Amino acid sequence: MTSRIKTVFGTLFITMLGLMFASCVTKPPPQPDWLTSKVQVRGRVLDSENNPIQKAEVNITDVQDLVMFTDQDGVFTSGPNTKLYDPNKEKIVIMIKKIDYTFKGFEGGKDIFWGPGFNDLSDFRLTRVDDYLDPGLDTVDEEPISPSPPSPIARLIPIMIYPPEAVAKISELYVDGELHYSSTDANAQEQFDNNKIVIELGQSNYRTISLHFQDFPPKEIKFDDSDCNYKNSLVIRIDMNGSITKTDCQ
């Protein structure tokens, strides 16, 4: 009888120890939703007159591997096989392509903010690239006139300003005497996107950039733009005292 009582008490003691140990073990916190939910995106592609662009190719590899295409309303939407949100990436890159159009200033892709779950990326605008035709002979009263000279092929020249906060000191930017940027005129040809501005110019040439500042006299910079393209930018560094150094496109 005594041995049976000891056995019962021993079993109860072991059970109580097990319960006490289990109550002391901290359960892992539940995983946040973004670790298990996939990212979804939606956006729209328009032209410079706010008309929708159909069948534009949209690529966001951090969201999905498959390319998205815009519908008749210019809208693109991610598919069912999207990826998980990566909290280590504050921004991701979107690339948009369409024949006869250019994603001006972002031909190599544009950085955009994102988050877990659904992302409404709003609108993106493409610029139409005009077709350049071979010059021909026009006739007036059946008399031929001299052919007009060929139009210069438009080229996009990116210019990077460092440090980025120096952009706020620039009041005007001229290229070969033509105004391209004005801090007081929103209708100027180009505007800065952070510390980058993209200038549309003609054939390759030696250029003169004139920078007008709020705090010190204007500065002129001469450079060769023959190697400039959307991947190779002209780099201009502006010191606090107004001195300037530049690195040609390479």
Kindly report, residue by residue over 17-44, the tens digit of the pLDDT.
666 655 555 556 665 555 567 899 999 9
pLDDT at 154: 60
SS3 content of the chain, % helix, strand, coil (to 5): 15, 40, 50
Tens of pLDDT, residue by residue over 140-157, are: 444 444 444 444 456 678
Q: Which residue has the higher pLDDT, 162 or 35?
A: 162
Whether pTM exceeds 0.85: no
What average pLDDT does the structure give for the chain? 78
- Using CA atoms, how far apart are residues 33 and 56, in angstroms rounded to an integer? 32
pLDDT at 149: 46
Q: What percent of the chain has pLDDT over 70?
A: 73
Per-residue pLDDT at 68 exceeds 70: yes
Per-residue pLDDT at 205 exceeds 90: no
Nearest to 84 by CA among 60, 116, 47, 118: 116
- Using CA atoms, how far apart are residues 69 and 231, in angstroms rounded to an integer? 25
Per-residue pLDDT at 203 exceeds 90: no
Confidence band for 96, pLDDT divided at 50, 70 and 90 = very high
Q: Which residue has the higher pLDDT, 250 or 225?
A: 225
Per-residue burial over 61-72, b if 16 or more Cβ lie within 10 Å, else e, is ebbbeeebebee
Per-residue pLDDT at 207 exceeds 70: yes
Per-residue pLDDT at 176 exceeds 70: yes
Q: Look up residue 131 and give its DSSP letter.
A: P
The domains found in the chain, sorted by start residue, are 38-128 (2.60.40.1120), 151-247 (2.60.40)
Which residues are 110's β-sheet partners?
94
